[in-house]
Amino acid sequence: MENLALQTNKWIDDTAKICGEVAVDCSDTAGTLEQAKEAAEELRREHGLLEAITDKLTHEIENVAHATEEAKELSDAAREKLEASHTTIENSMAGFSDMIGLINRLGNHIAGFAAAMEQVKRASQAIDNIARTTNMLALNAAIEAQKAGEAGQTFAVVAAEVKKLALDSRTAAVEITGTVNSLAAEAEKLAVEIGTGIEGSGEAQAQFANMEDLLGGLTQIVGQVDDRTSEIAVNTAAINQGLAESRNVRVAVSQANDQMHDRLQVAHKELSELELRANTMFDKIVHSGMSKDDSVFVELALEKNRDVVALTEAAIEAGDLTIDELFDENLVLIAGSNPPRFTSKLTAWADKNWRPFYDRTKALRPEILTVVCTSRNGFLPTHLSEFSRAPTGDLSHDTRYCRNGRVFNDEGIDLIAKASEQDYMMAVYRHTGASSQGGNRDSAVVRNVYVPLRFKGRRWGDLEIAYIL
C-alpha cells in the first residue's frame, strides 16, 4: 500500500505537470497563431499597398503610352515639315544659283562696258589731238593769207572756219572725255559692288549648303526618334498588357490571402476558446493541490497579497494616502508618450511604496518575471524598476522598458480574472518583452497567479506574479 501510494502520487504529479504543459502549449500555439494572423493582416496591408502602387504604375504607363503616341504624331509632323523645308531650300538654292549666274553675267557686261568706255576715251583723245593740229594748221593758213593780201582773202575765210571747227571739235572732245571718265568711275564702282555681291553670294550659297546639310541631318535624327518612339510605344503596350495579366494574378493572390486570413481568424478564435478551457483546467488542477511546483508560487502570491494590503491600508490610516486617490480612475495621458502612458492620483505614492515592494518580491525567486498590481481596468500605476525606465523616444525601447502607467487589459484571461471572485486564479499566457535569469525573451509563455486585491473591503484589482518553470 505504501508503494501504491507513492506510485499514485507520482501519477498525480505527472498528470498535473502534463496538464500544465498542455495549457502552456495551448497558449504557445495561440500566440503562434496570433502571430500568423498578424502576418496575414500585414500581408493583406502590403498587398493593398502593392495594389495601389501597381494601379498607379498602370495609370502612369497608360499616360506614357498616350504621351508616346502624341510624341510619335509630333515627330511625324516634324519629319514632314523638315522634308518640306528641305525641298524649299533645295528650290531656293537652285534660284539663288541662277541669281548668282545672272550677277556674274552682269559683271561680265560691266567689264565689257568699261572696255568700250576706254576705247571711247582713246577716240576722244585722238579727236582732241586732231583738233589741236587743225587749229595750228588754221593759224598758219591765216598767216599765209595775210601775206597774200587781197588774193588770200578767201583763203583767210576758210582758215577761220577751219580754226572754228578745230575749236569746236576740241570742246566736244573735252566734254566726251569728261563724260567717259564719269561713266568709267561709275562703272568701276558698280564692278566693285558686283564683285562684293558675288563674294557675299558665294558665302550665302555656302551657308545655304550648310543649312541643307543640317536639315538633312536633323531630318535623319527625327526619323530615328520616330523609330525609337515606335519601339517605346510597342514596349509600353507590352508592359501594359503584362500589368493587366499581373492584375489577374494579384486578384487571385488577394482572394487566397483573404481566405487564409478568414480561416486564421476562425482557427484563432477556436484556439483562443481552447486556450481558455486549458487555462480553466490548469486553474482547477492547481486549486486541487496536484501541481506542487505551481502551489509554491500560489502561496507566495497569497502571502504578498496580504503584505501589499497591509502596506496600503496602513498608509490610508496614517493619512499618507486617501481612498479617493487609491481608486482614482481619471487617467491623464502623459504628453508625447509612445506607447501611451497615463498617471492618476495614485501614481506618485505607488512609485514610492509599491515599486520597492515589487523589486523585493521579484528578488525572492529567479523564476519570477514580473510582480505588479493591476487595477480592474488594467491600469498599472507603477511597475518593477526594470520596467519603469525613463523613456528615450525609441519605440522599441519604450515599449519594452517603460511599462509603468500603461494599460494592459487582455480581452480573454484578464477580463475573466478581474471578474473572478475566487481566492486566486491561475492562467498561462504569452508575455512580450519579459526577461528571466539574465536572458532576454522577446516573447515567452509564462504562468501567472491572479490574487484579488481588496482595500477596506473594496475590490481594487489584482496582485499578479508571473513566472516560468
Domain boundaries, the chain: 1-290, 291-467
Percent of the chain with pLDDT over 90: 30
Check if the beta carbon of residue 304 is closer than 8 Å to that of residue 361. Answer: yes
Residue in the block written with cell 516634324 = 78
Check if the beta carbon of residue 387 is closer than 8 Å to that of residue 341. Answer: no
**Higher pLDDT pick, 70 / 388:** 388
Cis ω before 339 (30° cut-off from 0): yes
Question: Which of the four pLDDT bands, split at 50, 70 and 90, describes residue 434?
Answer: very low
Could you tell me the CA-to-CA distances from 441 to 72, 331, 398, 435 in Å, in that order? Answer: 63, 30, 16, 6
State the Cα–Cα distance between residues 467 and 463, nearest whole angstrom. Answer: 13
Name the grid cell of 41. 493582416
Residue in the block written with cell 491600508 = 313
State the Cα–Cα distance between residues 324 and 313, nearest whole angstrom. Answer: 13
Residue 428, strand partner residues: 447
Residues, the chain, total?
A: 469
The whole-number pLDDT of residue 375 equals 96
State the Cα–Cα distance between residues 134 and 169, nearest whole angstrom. Answer: 10
Residue 333, strand partner residues: 342
In the CATH scheme, what architecture does the domain 1-290 have?
A: Orthogonal Bundle (1.10)
DSSP assignment letter at 291: -
What's the rounded mean pLDDT across residues 262-268? 74
To the nearest 10°, report the CA torsion of 226, 230, 235, 239: 110
Using one digit for the tens of pLDDT, what is the confidence trace for 351-379? 999 999 999 999 999 999 999 999 999 99
Using one digit for the tens of pLDDT, what is the confidence trace for 85-118? 666 666 666 666 666 666 677 667 666 666 766 7
- Of 6-15, 229-238, 388-397, the range with the highest mean pLDDT is 388-397
- CATH code: domain 291-467 is 3.30.450.20
DSSP assignment letter at 320: S
Q: What's the sign of the alpha-carbon dihedral 352, 355, 361, 363?
A: negative
The whole-number pLDDT of residue 36 equals 74
Question: Which of the four pLDDT bands, split at 50, 70 and 90, describes residue 4?
Answer: very low
Q: State the first-to-last Cα distance of the chain, in angstroms, to the nearest integer.
A: 32
What's the rounded mean pLDDT across residues 52-72? 74
Mean per-residue pLDDT over the chain, rounded:
79
Q: Helix, strand, coil: what percent of the chain each, to 5?
A: 75, 10, 15
Name the grid cell of 447. 504562468
**Higher pLDDT pick, 453 / 52:** 453
Q: How many other CB atoms sit within 10 Å of the CB of residue 163? A: 18
On the question of a common fold for 1-290 and 291-467, the answer reads no
Q: Residue type at 262?
A: D
Residue in the block written with cell 568709267 = 184
Contacts of 437 (CB under 8 A, 6+ apart): 366, 367
| Nearest one of 387, 350, 406 to 466, comparing CA atoms | 387
Name the grid cell of 32. 503562434
The whole-number pLDDT of residue 338 equals 94
Residues 447, 449, 453, CA angle at the centre, nearest 5°?
Answer: 155
State the Cα–Cα distance between residues 280 and 276, nearest whole angstrom. Answer: 6
| Nearest one of 401, 402, 411, 413 to 462, comparing CA atoms | 413
CA 159 to chain centre: 116
The whole-number pLDDT of residue 138 equals 73
DSSP string, 332-395: EEPTT-SS--EE-TTHHHHHHHHHHHHHHHHTT-TTEEEEEEEETT-B-S---GGGBPPP-S-H
